[in-house]
Structure 1
Amino acid sequence: MLFNRLISIFRKYKQYEVDENKKTSLDLILNEVNPQSPLETRIEWLQKLVKWIRGTDLFEDAPEKAAATKIKYLFMVLERNSDKKEKIQKSLTLTLQELSSIEFFCEVGLPSQIGLIGELVDKLTEKILPKKPIGHQLSELMITLFPDEEDVQWLKSLDEQTLEKLTTLFDTNNETYPHLKSDIEEALIYLISQIVAIGLSPGIRKRIPHKRMKSLPFFYLSGKLNLYLKTKSENNNPALAQQLHEELLDLLMESQAAISEVYHHLDRFGVSTHLVFQLERMKLFLKRTHTLLDIVSTGHLTRTRISHFVAELVEQNLLQRNAMGIYSNNATLLAQKIIENNSQAGEHYIAKDKKEYVKMVKSAMGGGVLTALTVLLKNLLGMIGLNKFFYGAFSTINYAGSFLFIQMCGFTLATKQPAATAPALAKKLELAENREGIEAVTDEIVYITRTQIAAVFGNLAAVIPAILIINYICMSVTGHWLFSPDTAHYTLHSTDILGPTIIYGAFTGVLLWSSSVIAGWTTNWYSFHQLSYLITNNKKIKTILTADGAKKVAHFFDHEITGIAGSVSLGFLLGLMPEILKFIGIPLEVRHVTLSTGALTAAVSSLGVESLKSPEFVRAALGIVLIGFLNLSVSFLLALFVAFRAKKISSHRKALIFQSVLKRFYQKPFSFFIPKSST
C-alpha cells in the first residue's frame, strides 16, 4: 500500500515537471484569456504568456533578441485579432488594478531583515520552503514572472515602439489606477522610516564625527517627506511642492555623504559586517527613494525608464536572493581590513638587501632551535598515553606556547610568513598600472621568494643540530633515544613522498592561511572595539598597574595582538583540529615542514647512521621537500587570492605581473634565492 502510494507521488511529480517544462503555442495561450475569470486564473494565464515570451529556443545565444522578436510577433497576431487584443487589455488592466504595489516599490530587490545573519537565514529558508502564493501582491508576481538574469537583458533591450505597444495593453485610454499613487507614497514613507531608523542608530551615529543627532540629515527626512506629500496632495502651491522636493533630494545627497563618513571611520578603526550590512541597506533604500520621488514629482516616467526600472528591480531581486552574494558583498570591507592588518604584519617578513637577508636567516635559526623543543614536548605527550582529545588539547598548548615564545623572542617561523607577505604584496599591486609599477611588484615578489627560502633554510639549519643535541642528551641521561624504533619507523613512513604527504602538506598550508585570517580578524575586532582606549582608561587596570602601566599594556597589545592571535589560532589548528576531524571521520593530519624535519632528524638519529642509506629515508627526505613547498605555496596562494579579490585586481593586470615574473626568472634566476651585495 505504502509502495503504491510512493509510486503515485513519484508519477505526479514527474507529470508536474513535464507540465512545467512543456511548451505551449501562442494560439492556445491567447484562446485561454478571460477577463471575467478570477484573479488567480488571470495571473496563471499571464505567467503562461510571459513564459512563452521568455523562451529562447530560437536564439539560444541571444535571449534578449528572442524575447523582443516574440513580443513583436505577439502584436502582429493581436493586430489581426482585435477581439483577443481587447480581452487581453481588459484582463491585464483589471489584474493591475486588483494587485497591491506597495511591496513592489519598497521590498522587491531590497533586504528585508535588519541583520546579515537574519538575511542569510531568510534567503536560505526561501530556497527550502514552498514558494509563496502570489495572492494580491504585485511584488510576488514580478518575482515569479522574471526569475533569471536573462530577463534583465531583454527588459532593458526593448525599443520605444515595442514599449509603447506594451503600455497600451496595461493602460487602455490612459487610465490612472486609483491605488498606484497612494501605494508609491506609502512605499516612500516606509523607505524613509527605514533610512531614519538606520541613520540615527548608535552604531551609525557614533561614527559620524562631531555631529549631534539633530544636525544629521536623517533627522529631518521623515518630517520633510510628510510636508512634501501633504503639499503635493493639496495641489494648491506647486512652487512650494517643487521647493520641498529639491530639499528632500538635498537631504538624500547629504545622507549619502554621511554614509561615506561612516565608511571612512570603519576603514580607519575596524570593520563590523553588521554595520556594513546596515550601510548597504541604507544605500539601497536611498536609491529606491530617489527613483520613487522622481515618479511622484513628474507624475509619470518615460516608457524606457519604466522598462529599466523594472529591469533594475529584477536584477536587485536576483542579487538579494543569492545568499552567498549577500555575504560576499557585505564581507568585502572586512576582507580588506584583514588584508590591511596582515600586510602591516607582513612588511617585517620581507628582506630586501643582503643585511636583512642574513638577519632573517639568523632569526629563523632561533625559531628552529625553539621548534626543536616543541618536537621534544610533542614526543613526551605521545609517551604519556593520553586519549585523542586531551592529546590534541595539550598539543595545542605546546604549539601555541612555542609559537608565542618564538614571537616574543623576535625569532621567525618560516611557514607563518606566506599568509602575511601575500597581503603585503597585494597592497603594492594597486600601484602596478604601468611598466614601472609592474617591475616594482616583480621586485617585491623576488624579495618575498628569497626571504621565505632564507627563513626555511634558517629553520631547518637550526632544528636539525638542535634535535641531534637533544637526542644525544636524552640517550646520555636516560639510556634511551628520543624515539623508539617503532616510533622512528612510523615517522619515516609518515613523511614518505609516496604516501598521503601531498594531501597533509596542502591541508597544513590551508591551516596556516586560516590562522592568518583569524589574526587579521582579531586585529580588526581589537580596533573596532577600541580596546587600546579601554585598557588605557580602565579604572581597575590603572589602579593595579598604574596609569603608566596601563599605557604600556595597551601599547604591547597594539603591536602584538596580530602575532598573538596568529600564534594561538595556529596552535589550535595544528594541535586540536586534526583530532576533531578524525572524530567526525575525516582522517587528515598535520605536516609542518619544520616540525616534520625535527621529527625526521630524531627518527634517523635514533635508528642510527645506517638508516640514511635506506630508500625509506630518501623518500621521507623528498617528502620533507614537498611538505615545505606545499606549506608555503598553498598558504601564500590562498592569501594572495583573497587579497586580489579584496583589492579588486583585474585579470589583465595579474597576467602582466605573471609574465614579468617569468621573464625575471629567466634573466636572473639566482636573484630568487640569494641577494647581491649591492641590492
Structure 2
Amino acid sequence: MKVLFKAKPKTTIAGLLTEFFGEAQSWRETNDNLEPLVELIRLIRPLKIKNIQTVDLQEAISFLKENYSCRKQLSIYLKEILKDKKFNKILSDAAILQDVDFIFEVKKRIFAKFLPYQPQKDTLEYVLNQVFYLANDGIWINKIPLNQLVELYDLLKFKSIYVSAEPNSVLSELFVAMHLITQRISGRAMETDVIKMVPEFDYIESPFSAFENELFLIKDRIRSSNTHYITSDDLSYAQLLVLHKQCEEFVEKAFDNISKYGISLRVNQNLLKIRQQLKRLKFLISLLVVDKEKDKKENGIVLASRLIKFNCYKNNVRKFIGESTQLISYEITQHTAKTGENYITEGRNEYFKMFRTALGGGFIVGILCIVKMLLSKAEASYFGHAFLYSMNYAIGFIAIYLLGFTLATKQPAMTASALIKALEDGVLKQGRDAEKYKAFAILFARVFRSQFIAFVGNVIMAFPVSLLGIWLIDYFLHYNIAATKWESLLVDLSPIHSLAIFHAAIAGIFLFLSGIITGSVANRDKHNQVYFRIAEHPFLKRNLGKTRTLKLAKVYEKRWAGIISNFWFGVFMGSTASIGLFLGLNLDIRHISFASGNLALGLYGANYTVSNSMLLWGIFGIGIIGLVNFIISFSLSMGLAFRSRAISLYELRFVTISIWNHFKSSPVSFFFPTEKKDKSVVVENYLHVEDSK
C-alpha cells in the first residue's frame, strides 16, 4: 500500500530563523507581526520543565553567529516589536495583590485563567501575553545560563537601558512604576486599621514618607546626570536602603503584633500588598545601580526575565491563597493550640478527670439521641427537620462546653495545633533532632490516650442514658419511639452495610471546621477589641457596675469563641442529612458518641431480638466511626498547623517513625499513663513553659 501522506518534518530553530529572517525576510509579510516570535519561543520552550536543570540556547547562538543576515534581520525585528512599548504597569501591578477583598481577588484570578485580560497592543504586556502565555514560562526562562543571554544580547546589539531617561524610555518606565508603587504604599500604610497594628510607630515619622522623598531626589539626580545611574557606594543609595529596611520592619512588626491585637483578613491583605510592593521596589532600585560596565548588560537581561516572570505569575491562584491565608491560619491555630493544651492529660489524676468529664459529655449526648428521635417524628419539611436537628445538636454541644464536659472528637482539631506548636517551639528544638522527635512522640502518646479515654467515657455513658430514656418513654407513654426505625439505626452503624465510614469522614471535616471557627472568632474579637469595648462600655458600667461589667467581659473573652464554634458544629451536624435529601445525595454524619446512643435505641426498638452479626457489626462500627472521626479531623488540623508555621511536610516522615518506635517500646502509654516522674525533660519543660505563658 502506498503512503499517501508523508509526515511533516520537525521544524528546527535554524530552519525557523532561516524561514522568517533569511533572504526572503518573510517576517515583514506576516499578518501577525508576533507570529515569528511566538513560533521561535514554542521551539525553545522545553516540554518537561521539572526534569530540566538548564535550557540551552547554544543551537540558536551558533546559527546566528554563522548567519549575519539572519542575525541582522532578527535584531531589527525584535527592536521593532519592542519599540516604545510601555511596561510600567507590569512592574507596578503584575504578581502583586490588586484588591484587598480576598474573595473578589480569587474570583478575578480564576476568571483570568480561562479568559485572560488583554491589554492595549501598544504595551509590552500584550506582547508577553501572546508570546509567554503559559504560567510556567517564567520558570524555564530562569534556567537559561546568564552567559548565553549575555552572548545573545551582544549578537543582537541591544542598547543599554541607561542610554536615555526621556519619556517612553526604559528608565522612564522604571521611574513611573516606582512612583506609582511608593504612592500606593504611603497611602495604604497610613490607613487606620494598619496603623493600629503598629502603635510603636505612633510617635515616629513615617518611614514610608521619608523613603518616598529620598527616592524622588535620586530619580531627579539620575534624570539630570549624563550616565543615568548611580553606584553602590552612593550615600543617597545607602540612605535609601536604610529607609527601605525601616519600611520592612514596619510591616514585620505589624505581623509580629498579631498575637496581641489579632488581625482581619482585610488588614492581612493590606500588609501583604505593602510587603510585595516593598519587595518589588527593592528589585527596581537595584536596577539603578551600576558599578561595572558588565552590570549594564546584566541589569537589562535581569529586567527582561523578571518582566516575563511577573507577567506569568500575575494570575497565580495557589500562591495568592497560600500567602493570604498562612498568617491568618497561624493566628487561628495559635489559639486552638492554647486551647488544645487543656485536652492533653499528663498524669493519672488528669487522665481520670478527663474520663469523668467525658462521662458528663456522654450523658448529654444520650439525651440528644432521644430528643433527635422524637424530633424525627415531627411533620416538617427538609428545612424544618434541618433546623430542629441543628438546634438540638447546637444546644447540647454548648451545654457540654459550658458545663466543662468533654465531647471526645472535639479534641483532635485542638490538640493537633498544640502538637505542632510543640514541634516548632524553641524548647523542643533544644538538643539533637532525635531527642526532639522522641519528645514529640511522647507528647503524641499523651494526646492519643487522652482521646481514647474521652472516647470510652462518651461511649459507655451515652449507651445507658439513651437506653434509659427510651425505656422511660415507653414505660410512661407506652410508645416505643424506635419501633419503626431500629433496623436503619443498626444498619447505619455497619461499615460494610452502609456508608458509615464516609459519613464519619464528613463528621471529621465538621470537627476540623469547628476548631477553625473557634480560632477565627477569637482572632476577630481580639482584633476588634471586643473584650476592652465591653469592659469600658459606659452604659454597662453605669447600670451593672464596673466589677460586673469586667466579669461579663472576661466571660465573653473566655467563652464566646467556644459557644459560636459549638453552635456551628451543631448546625453542620444537624443539617447535613436534610441537605443530602434535598440534593438527592446520600449525605449524613456518624459520630462515635451518637453511634453508641443509636445502638441502644436500635436494640430497644427491636426488643433486643437482633442477629449476632448485626450486633457485632454495630459494635465494631462504633470503633471504626470513632477512628475515622479522629483521623480526619486530626489530619486536617495537623496539615493546617504544619502549613501555618511553614514547617515542611517532609518532617512528617521523622515524626511518624518516632511515634511508631515509641509505640513499639511502650504501647500501653498510648492508652494509659505510664510515665514516671523522671520522664522526658524536654516534654516537661514544654508543658511548664506553656502553662506559664
TM-score normalised to structure 1 length:
0.89
Equivalent AA in structure 2 for residue 471 of structure 1: I
CA distance in 1, matches of 2:625, 2:196: 49
2:37 to 32, 35, 46: 46
1:639 to 1:552, Cα distance in 2 relative to 1, 3 A: same
Change (3 A) 1:446 1:336: same
| Corresponding position of 1:163 | 150
Indicate how the Cα distance of structure 1 residues 213 and 587 shifts in structure 2: closer, same or farther if over 3 A, else same: farther
Contact 2:162 2:171 in 1 (8 A): no
Query: Which one of the candidate residues 292, 298, 301 is aligned to 2:284?
Result: 292
Which residue of 152, 155, 164 maps to 2:139?
A: 152
* Residue 436 (structure 1) aligns with: 435
Closer/same/farther in 2, CA of residues 93 and 676 from structure 1, 3 Å limit? closer
Q: Distance in 1 between matches of 2:331 and 2:619?
A: 39
Preserved contact between residue 413 and residue 459 of structure 1 (Cα < 8 Å): yes
Does 1:80 find its partner at 2:71? no
2:373 to 355, 369, 379: 379
Question: Structure 2: which 5+ runs fail to align?
Answer: 1-6, 678-693
* Residues 140 and 107 of structure 1, relative CA distance in 2, 3 Å threshold: farther
Letter in 1 for 2:193: G
Q: Please tell me whether residue 404 in structure 1 is matched to residue 398 in structure 2.
A: yes
Query: Contact between 2:135 and 2:313, CA under 8 Å: does it hold in 1?
Result: no
1:117 deviation in Å?
3.0
Q: Is the 8 A contact 2:337 2:421 kept in 1?
A: yes
Range that drifts further, 412-421 or 487-496: 487-496
| Alignment map for 1:530-541 (pairs within 5 Å) | 530-541=529-540
Greater CA deviation, 240-249 or 488-497? 240-249
Greater Cα shift, 152-161 or 248-257 = 152-161
Moved more, 302-311 or 119-128: 302-311
CA distance in 1, matches of 2:419, 2:33: 60
Deviation at 1:489, TM superposition (A): 2.1
In 1, the alpha carbon distance for the partners of 2:49 and 2:60 equals 20
- Correspondent of 2:252 among 260, 264, 268: 260
Residue 182 of structure 1 and its aligned partner are, at CA, apart by 1.6
* 1:204 and 2:190 correspond: no
Q: Which moved more, 1:133-142 or 1:544-553?
A: 133-142
Runs of 5+ consecutive residues of structure 1 not aligned to the other structure: 1-17
1:675 to 649, 654, 673: 673
Question: Out of 247, 261, 266, which is 2:239 matched to?
Answer: 247
Task: Tell me, yes or no, if the aligned pair for 2:462 and 2:597 is still in contact at 8 Å.
Answer: yes
Shift in CA distance, 305/182, structure 1 to aligned 2, threshold 3 Å: closer
DSSP-derived class of the 1:321 partner: coil
| Pair 1:115–1:380, CA change in 2 (3 A) | closer
Q: Residue 26 of structure 1 is aligned with which of 8, 14, 20? A: 14
- Could you tell me whether the CA contact under 8 Å between 2:438 and 2:662 is conserved in 1? no
Paired AA for residue 473 in structure 2: C
Larger mean Cα displacement after TM superposition, 564-573 or 281-290: 281-290
CA-CA distance at 1:652 after TM superposition: 4.1
Residue 155 of structure 1 contacts residue 311 of structure 1 at CA under 8 Å; is this kept in 2?
A: yes
Alignment of 1:593-672 (within 5 A): 593-611=592-610, 613-672=611-670
1:498-541, CA deviations, whole angstroms, 9 ceiling, x for partnerless residues?
Answer: 22111111111111111111122111111111111111112233
After superposition, the C-alpha distances for 1:377-401 in whole angstroms (9 at most, x for unaligned) are 1122112222221111111111111
Query: 1:477 and 2:471 equivalent?
Result: no
Match of 2:91 among 105, 121, 124: 105
2:524 is matched with 525
Aligned equivalent of 2:121: 135
Partner secondary structure for residue 171 of structure 1: coil
Q: Within 1, Cα distance between the matches of 2:185 and 2:32?
A: 38
Equivalent residue letter for 1:49: L
CA distance, structure 1, for counterparts of residue 152 and residue 121 of structure 2: 27
Distance 1:83 1:92 in 2: 14
Equivalent positions of 1:353-392 (< 5 A) are: 353-392=347-386
The residue identity in structure 1 corresponding to 2:239 is E
* Structure 2 SS opposite 1:98: coil
Gap change, CA 1:603 and 1:109, over 3 Å in 2: closer
- How many residues are aligned here? 654
1:184 and 2:183 are equivalent in the alignment: no
- Map 1:579-590 to 2 at 5 A: 579-590=578-589
Query: Structure 1's 591 and 571: CA in aligned 2 closer, same or farther, altered over 3 A?
Result: same
Secondary structure of the structure 2 residue equivalent to 1:279:
helix
Q: 1:179-226 CA distances to partner (integer Å, 9 max, x unpaired)?
A: 222211111111111111221122222222143487111123333333
- Return the alpha-carbon distance in structure 1 between the equivalents of residues 356 and 392 of structure 2: 23
In terms of fraction of residues, the more helix-rich structure is: 1
Judge conservation of contact 2:576–2:589 (CA < 8 Å) in 1.
Answer: no
Q: Which has the larger displacement, 602-611 or 534-543? A: 602-611
Change (3 A) 1:497 1:242: closer
1:6 — aligned with what?
A: none
What is the CA–CA distance in structure 2 between the aligned matches of 1:388 and 1:166, rounded to whole Å?
70
SS in 1 for 2:617: helix
Q: Cα 1:63–1:553, aligned 2, differ >3 Å: closer, same or farther?
A: same
Shift of the 528–631 alpha-carbon distance from structure 1 to 2, 3 Å rule, reads same
For 1:619, the aligned partner's letter is: W
State the match for 1:125 in structure 2: 111
Deviations 1:530-563 (A, max 9, x none): 1111111122332342222221111012211332
Contact 2:58–2:148 under 8 Å retained in 1 = no
Q: State the one-letter code of the partner of 2:479.
A: H
Residue 490 (structure 2) aligns with: 492
| Aligned position for 2:328 | 334
The DSSP-based 3-state class of the residue aligned with 1:608 is coil
SS in 1 for 2:601: helix
Please give the TM-score of this superposition, normalised by the length of structure 2: 0.87
Residue in structure 1 matched with residue 341 of structure 2 by the alignment: 347
- One-letter code aligned to 1:665: F
Mark the CA change 1:239 to 1:284 in structure 2 (over 3 Å): closer, same or farther: closer
Per-residue deviation at 1:355? 0.9
Letter in 2 for 1:275: V
1:536–1:554 Cα contact (<8 Å) kept: yes
Question: Per-residue deviation at 1:111?
Answer: 3.1
Give the CA deviation at 1:376.
Answer: 1.7
Question: Comparing 602-611 with 278-287, which one deviates more in the overlay?
Answer: 602-611
Does the CA contact (< 8 Å) of 1:93 and 1:172 recur in 2? no
**Equivalent position to 1:228, from 218, 242, 261:** 218
3-state secondary structure, aligned to 2:287: helix
Tell me the secondary structure at the aligned position of residue 132 of structure 1.
coil
Aligned residue runs from structure 1 range 497-516, under 5 A: 497-498=495-496, 499-516=498-515
In structure 2, give the amino acid aligned to 1:145: V
Contact 2:34 2:131 in 1 (8 A): no
Amino acid corresponding to residue 523 of structure 2 in structure 1? N
User: C-alpha root-mean-square deviation of aligned residues, in Å?
Assistant: 3.0
Residues 45 and 140 in structure 2, CA contact (< 8 A), matched pair in contact too: no
Three-state SS of the structure 2 residue aligned to 1:249 is: helix
**Deviations for 1:316-346, whole angstroms, at most 9, x for unmatched residues?**
4444422132011110011111111111111
- Between stretches 269-278 and 588-597, larger displacement belongs to 269-278
Change (3 A) 1:506 1:172: closer
- Structure 1 counterpart SS, 2:647: coil
CA 1:315–1:209 in 2, change beyond 3 Å: closer, same or farther? same
Q: Does the 8 Å contact 1:109/1:313 carry over to 2? A: no
Counterpart Cα distance in 2 of 1:133 and 1:63: 32
CA contact (8 A) 1:63 1:150 kept: no
Distance 1:228 1:476 in 2: 91
Paired position in structure 2 for 1:13: none
Kindly state the Cα deviation for residue 148 of structure 1 after the two structures are TM-superposed: 4.3
- Deviation (angstroms), 1:143: 4.3
Is the contact made by 2:258 and 2:331 (CA closer than 8 Å) also made in structure 1?
Answer: no
CA contact under 8 A between 1:429 and 1:441: conserved in structure 2?
yes
Distance 2:297 2:51 in 1: 23
Contact 1:213 1:219 (C-alpha < 8 Å) held by counterparts: no
